Structure 1
Amino acid sequence: MDTLKLYVESSNPAQAYYLDEVEIRQVSETPTTPPTEPTSGIESRFEDGTAQGWVSRMGTETVQVSNADARTGSYSLLTTGRQQTYAGPKLDVTATVQKGSRYTVSAWVKLAPGEQQPAKVRLSVQRDHQGESTYETVVGNTAITTGGWTHLYGTYTLAHEADTVSMYLETPEGTASFYMDDFELSLVPPLAIEKDIPSLHGLYQGQFSIGTAIEAFQTEGAYGELVQKHFNSVVAGNAMKPISLQPSEGQFHWEEADRIVQFAQQHGIAIRFHTLVWHNQTGDWMFKDKNGQPMTPTAENKKLLLDRLETHIRAVAARYKNVITDWDVVNEVIDPDQPDGMRRSKWYQITGTDYIDKAFRVTREAAGPNARLYINDYNTHEPKKRDFLYNLVRDLLAKGVPIDGVGHQSHIRLEFPAIDEMEQSIEKFASLGLDNQITELDMGLYSNDTDHYETIPEAMLIRQAHRYRALFDMFSRQQEHISNVTIWGTDDGNTWLSMFPIARLDKPLLFDERLKAKYAYWALVDPSKVPPLPAGSNE
């Protein structure tokens, strides 16, 4: 059809009439072509002697096929002449990746002969939309040498709109030359939750709420279904951190946070706020003086910084006052290696501990009397750090600072800490009449910062399950002193530990990357489904 005309007629050609408020509305969409299906993927092995779409990212480095070395076959891709750390081979994957789809990304990299080793390389994504570029790390900084090929492996979900998407290799420092071979970008089949298993939060009803950390994209699809089924509390993993909400002074970005809030409200899920004040992930502008220079400890700068703190808190609280119940007011203020136990952050350098006092008092005023206000930190099980935090909170309470509870991040590992230490910390803060929340729970499988598994041994997952059971048994014993336990992520495919402390495979959560229940989940719900501890384990 080329044209469509609408007209009004009458059986009486001499009759006059008025016509007003004509509306044409689309009531359903009938696509003229089938909807686009996600492309299955890309392989680059370079055996045809071409670069297969890979190009120089900056236009100054040389990206060419080489037969001097190869992981498989006879050819690989060699990048030389790099002048910036972010220069390297780039592949446009716009036609392959689709919004909402998940992909595995695999590449093998080797340092070129003559380069100083080891060097490090990472695999990144550049996403361009409406003239703005966003950069995401798929595989974090990974050591490479001249002695062998190193495997880079990760997953990527295109969670946002994009006009163009490209993948590229870069280095965190230096401009070393390197080979790449056997690149693969593969579509992961759509996710689906197990609908016939018990609800996790239902298991602990009457004891404490069960939360999870999410990003805005996890309010939809299978992720959203998983959250609705198993969790009755959510916290934003990143969307509510200071730099996310106010990246530059007076410019607030609410979209991602609002999506999480709207999702939670729609499904009757409580919301924790993380975090109002932190030394990390806060815009540099916060610590610049009125002339745009780094702040120094002066009375003028102290006032300016505390005024900015108040402005930020009041803006956030005004938007979410009636929907968010629990607030991480200040985060990670303790450093046990300092004589007084206080982290020497910019906040502390400019204001001393006044920023903590100010943050709690302003939040109480702005968020209202029913909001519960928390001071949040990691490694609160360590006696030295615990005692510094305890003394700080005790002294603040004595001055009338409105603190309702302590948040214990609880990023723990398979080997440590002792659960008894965690319990002692909860009891110590409860002795002040404070609530306790477990705010960022996960259980990394490694005992050090260097090991790396290509495949996690099943024995480790069994040990993890038994340790999770022992941990939650302790939480249940302490239910009078604990109001919430939040798991830091929905599933193993969305964990910060895939990039920290190094890029490596880790499985710290209750559901795997396909959203299937792990032994760790069953240890809480039905321990009979978990194999016995491997020989030599003592959890």
Structure 2
Amino acid sequence: MHKTIKKTLAKSMAFALAVTMVGTLNVSDADAAKKIKLSKKSVTLKVGKSKTIKVKNVKAKKVKKLTVKSSKKKVVTAKKKGKTAFVVKAVSKGSAKVTAKVKVGKKTTTLKLKVKVSANAAKKGGSQSTETSKPADSSASPAASGAPSASETPKAGKETATPVPTATPVPDKRFTKLEESFDGPVDADGKVNGWTARCNPDDNKEAGLNTRLEILDEGVEPGSKSVVLRDRAKGWNGISIDLSDTITEGGTYRVTFSAKVPNDVSTDDFEDDDVLNLRVSGGYQVEEDTDATYRNYPADTDYPVYRTKWTTYTVEFSVPDAMYSYEFYFETNGYGTIPFAIDNLKLERIAVPNPFDPTLPSLKETYGKLGFEKFGTAVSYDTLLNSNNMGFINHHYNSITLGNQMKPDAMLTREVLKIPAEEADKYKDVVEYAKALGYYIPEDYANYDCNKDAEGNILIPEIDFKTTDKILKKCHDEGISMRYHTLIWHQQMPKAFFTKQFVDTQVSSDKEKDDPSDVVTDKDALMSREELYIKTIMDHVMSSQYSDVVYAVDVVNEFTHCTNISKQIGSDNWWKYAFGENFDPESPYVKKAFVFAYDILKKHNKEDKVSLIYNDYDTYAPGTAEQIISLITNINKKDDINPYGKVCAGVGMQCHFANAHGTAANLATTLNKFKEQDYEIQITELDITNQGTVTETTTDEEKAEINKKVADSYYDIMTELIKAKKNGANIRAIVIWGLTDVTSWRAESLPLLFGTDVSDVKEAFHKVIKAAEDASK
């Protein structure tokens, strides 16, 4: 055959073959085609060794950009080597992930490399990273994307190397991989291997539909099957499975699935372009009696599904840190109630939260040896429901403070108490009902018209104890103490508490435009409400079978700053309309607050067990300590208001070191002033935010410098606290205001002892320990 004919024939055959392949290739076939990948999925190196990793199945000239990043630079570094390779170098013992992003044309492919470093690298320190091959028994929040990294862990003590965390994730019975081809059958309960139709029977009944799962003789592979959801009454109806007992709290998961609209669906049913928007979703309850919360993964992301072909997607997501129940499901976003089918599902756990390191020195034990009774932290109730967080707290702390969940705006519902219809015949009026619930009703309460409706019926503000009761029990079960924070404040008190008839009026964002005409200005009427509120709460807490966990109550918060009010909606100082705007050390409502609280302590014989505290910030600023002393002196003075004498045990020094006044020297001076007054002193909200701020442009070196300054400040501050304690100051408690930088109210300042999570030990932690060690020498 002539060469030209041979060449032409070869080209024709190649073209025909290409056309055939294009005509039959669907998403599943594409999975078998060559994809960009790494030469290795995982490597193990010894400290100091390097390894070149190649990017395969793409030519360098087609790569527009290659980026590589290590999740733990203290463990592994990664450096580009041209456009199709990079070098990983082992720095210290541990595990890390290297993420490579390869941009070809407009598409960027993300590739992951697991690196394990084996060798004794104790002198390097650092926190333990996630071991995806060993699921953890406990869990914590994964580090937030873009969260600031902690500086390298220093040596503890003078010459002793920082111990490397040795806690190993413990394998559990929860699944690491769930695969389903949906070949059936549908069982008697309408389920397919645990998967079910997610729907509301009432909706189905109203619509005359039977929402159900069926096995469809139409799968990704020829001759295979899938599961389809038929007769959907609502768009949220989906294909669902309950994973409550098998999901890992805070775990990261990857789901791969294929989806399609069945062939038997008419094109007339589609709203647009024969496409259906599918969503990957999850619903969870934090506790049995809480409402469910629902999420899409990632948030508000749609995955197009077609009638003409199977489409395959891979999605990564993280589940909540604490759960009572968890449901995983597929649903649609809009597009009516068209049926959809799922096939070849694989749900695998790819990471678990880093466990805290139980080999670290315990803060509570270290400082307990120096005479500090309580060493605590600030949390929310949900934080306590996570087993890893709770283990971490129990290791380091013996006290907690709820940041917001016991403040007045959390306790007061902004509604008035009402007798339930089913109990209306049991009580003659709401006062009798309130007393049956344990409310304290002052004798003069009914004397004020502002506490009555238009018909003269008594109105009582509703107080919500659900969260408080749970917290008390949780603390009791875990053997941890609690500070109650806080009863009275000039902020975070709902306006309804101050209005006539407790009407919840809208507050303008422009304070000057707020109309105070509906605000109660009668001092006696307000103090009657205050008595009802304080005594009801105190009696409820002190009557609890778990009341022994409470060792301190912040009765009044930040009164010396009552003129420094926020202009945010709902944050105005509503006390000012009756008692004046300026700080007054003889303010009757402040003094009475302590007396009301003390009344209840005496009732329960707890006046020697629970400290009533005045809590404030910037206590070391010029003049503030003197204001506080004048205030507490008046509170504890016997007179017509206070028949007892000393009802305020002392002062809570918040110690948010946020400005130039926040220095160890100023702290030492103030501690001495309060010591001279014989006050109980509690360091109630310690964090350091005056050493720099992290922004989007902050470099790693700049972050490290901020962390170093924060650590040095902690050393100086703790040293002064220890000195003051040794010199006779009655410092009962030290409370660090939060678990980690990421969860701090001022995260941008890297203010705490742990960084991205409870496993990320910062230099600040070691400096706090070192201050105690040095003081013991």
How far apart, in 2, do the equivalents of 1:93 and 1:529 lie? 55
Corresponding residue to 1:95 among 281, 285, 290? 281
Map of 1:24 onto structure 2: none
How far apart, in 1, do the equivalents of 2:758 and 2:674 lie? 35
In the superposition, relative to structure 1, how do residues 448 and 223 fare at CA in structure 2: closer, same or farther (>3 Å)? Answer: closer
In the superposition, relative to structure 1, how do residues 295 and 361 fare at CA in structure 2: closer, same or farther (>3 Å)? Answer: farther
Map of 1:239 onto structure 2: 405
In the superposition, relative to structure 1, how do residues 360 and 92 fare at CA in structure 2: closer, same or farther (>3 Å)? Answer: farther
Q: Which amino acid aligns with 1:288?
A: T
Matches within 5 A, 1:425-444: 425-444=670-689
Q: Is 1:346 aligned to 2:574, yes or no?
A: yes
Map of 1:306 onto structure 2: 527
Tell me if structure 2 keeps the 8 A contact 1:39–1:97: no
Tell me if structure 2 keeps the 8 A contact 1:212–1:231: yes
Q: Is 1:378 aligned to 2:630, yes or no?
A: no
Corresponding residue to 1:270 among 481, 503, 518? 481
- In the TM superposition, residue 41 of structure 1 has moved relative to its aligned partner by 7.5
Normalising to structure 1: TM-score of the pair? 0.61
Map of 1:468 onto structure 2: 714
Tell me if structure 2 keeps the 8 A contact 1:413–1:447: no
Q: Which amino acid aligns with 2:763?
A: Y
Map of 1:289 onto structure 2: 500
Tell me if structure 2 keeps the 8 A contact 1:522–1:529: no
Tell me if structure 1 keeps the 8 A contact 2:285–2:326: no
Matches within 5 A, 1:123-522: 189-205=352-368, 206-208=370-372, 209-220=374-385, 221-248=387-414, 249=416, 250-290=461-501, 292=503, 301-321=522-542, 322-323=547-548, 324-335=550-561, 345-351=573-579, 353-368=587-602, 369-370=607-608, 371-399=610-638, 400=645, 402-413=647-658, 417-444=662-689, 446-447=691-692, 453=698, 455=700, 457-479=703-725, 480-498=729-747, 505-516=748-759, 517-522=761-766
In the superposition, relative to structure 1, how do residues 156 and 213 fare at CA in structure 2: closer, same or farther (>3 Å)? Answer: farther
**SS of residue paired to 2:600:** helix
Q: Which amino acid aligns with 2:281?
A: A
Determine which structure has more spread, i.e. the larger CA radius of gyration: 2
- In the TM superposition, residue 199 of structure 1 has moved relative to its aligned partner by 0.7
The count of aligned residue pairs is 379
Tell me if structure 1 keeps the 8 A contact 2:657–2:690: no
- In the TM superposition, residue 448 of structure 1 has moved relative to its aligned partner by 7.2
- In the TM superposition, residue 434 of structure 1 has moved relative to its aligned partner by 1.1
Tell me if structure 2 keeps the 8 A contact 1:408–1:438: yes
Cα deviations by residue, 1:422-447 (Å, 9 ceiling, x for unpaired): 12112212222211111100112545
How far apart, in 2, do the equivalents of 1:471 and 1:381 lie? 13
Cα deviations by residue, 1:256-309 (Å, 9 ceiling, x for unpaired): 322322222123222111000012221221111237377669986322321221
How far apart, in 1, do the equivalents of 2:525 and 2:319 lie? 41
- In the TM superposition, residue 506 of structure 1 has moved relative to its aligned partner by 3.1
**SS of residue paired to 1:472:** helix
- In the TM superposition, residue 337 of structure 1 has moved relative to its aligned partner by 7.1
In the superposition, relative to structure 1, how do residues 418 and 130 fare at CA in structure 2: closer, same or farther (>3 Å)? Answer: closer
Q: Which runs of 5+ in 1 are unaligned?
A: 4-30, 43-90, 101-128, 139-154, 166-185, 499-504, 531-539
Tell me if structure 2 keeps the 8 A contact 1:211–1:486: yes
In the superposition, relative to structure 1, how do residues 291 and 218 fare at CA in structure 2: closer, same or farther (>3 Å)? Answer: closer
- In the TM superposition, residue 476 of structure 1 has moved relative to its aligned partner by 0.8
Tell me if structure 1 keeps the 8 A contact 2:283–2:294: no
**SS of residue paired to 1:285:** helix
**SS of residue paired to 1:329:** strand
Tell me if structure 2 keeps the 8 A contact 1:445–1:460: no
Percent same amino acid among aligned pairs? 22
- In the TM superposition, residue 160 of structure 1 has moved relative to its aligned partner by 7.2
Tell me if structure 2 keeps the 8 A contact 1:98–1:158: no
Q: Which amino acid aligns with 2:367?
A: Y
How far apart, in 2, do the equivalents of 1:320 and 1:413 lie? 33
How far apart, in 2, do the equivalents of 1:478 and 1:222 lie? 34
Q: Which amino acid aligns with 1:488?
A: W
How far apart, in 2, do the equivalents of 1:363 and 1:419 lie? 33
- In the TM superposition, residue 410 of structure 1 has moved relative to its aligned partner by 0.7
In the superposition, relative to structure 1, how do residues 94 and 395 fare at CA in structure 2: closer, same or farther (>3 Å)? Answer: farther
- In the TM superposition, residue 474 of structure 1 has moved relative to its aligned partner by 0.7
Tell me if structure 1 keeps the 8 A contact 2:252–2:351: no
In the superposition, relative to structure 1, how do residues 280 and 96 fare at CA in structure 2: closer, same or farther (>3 Å)? Answer: same
In the superposition, relative to structure 1, how do residues 337 and 312 fare at CA in structure 2: closer, same or farther (>3 Å)? Answer: closer
**SS of residue paired to 2:746:** helix
**SS of residue paired to 1:327:** strand
**SS of residue paired to 1:346:** coil
Q: Which amino acid aligns with 1:351?
A: F
Tell me if structure 1 keeps the 8 A contact 2:520–2:526: no
How far apart, in 1, do the equivalents of 2:244 and 2:616 lie? 53
**SS of residue paired to 1:275:** strand
Tell me if structure 2 keeps the 8 A contact 1:99–1:158: no
Q: Which amino acid aligns with 2:713?
A: R
Normalising to structure 2: TM-score of the pair? 0.44
Q: Which amino acid aligns with 1:214?
A: V
How far apart, in 2, do the equivalents of 1:132 and 1:306 lie? 39
Cα deviations by residue, 1:158-187 (Å, 9 ceiling, x for unpaired): 66789999xxxxxxxxxxxxxxxxxxxx99
**SS of residue paired to 1:211:** strand
- In the TM superposition, residue 524 of structure 1 has moved relative to its aligned partner by 2.1
Q: Which amino acid aligns with 1:486?
A: V
How far apart, in 2, do the equivalents of 1:191 and 1:462 lie? 23
Cα deviations by residue, 1:313-352 (Å, 9 ceiling, x for unpaired): 11211122233110100001113979xxxx9932243135
Matches within 5 A, 1:14-163: 35-36=246-247, 40=253, 95=281
How far apart, in 2, do the equivalents of 1:529 and 1:313 lie? 42
In the superposition, relative to structure 1, how do residues 519 and 156 fare at CA in structure 2: closer, same or farther (>3 Å)? Answer: farther
Map of 2:155 onto structure 1: none
* Root-mean-square deviation over aligned CA pairs: 4.1
- In the TM superposition, residue 398 of structure 1 has moved relative to its aligned partner by 2.7
Tell me if structure 2 keeps the 8 A contact 1:192–1:222: yes
Q: Which amino acid aligns with 1:511?
A: F
Map of 2:126 onto structure 1: none
Map of 1:8 onto structure 2: none
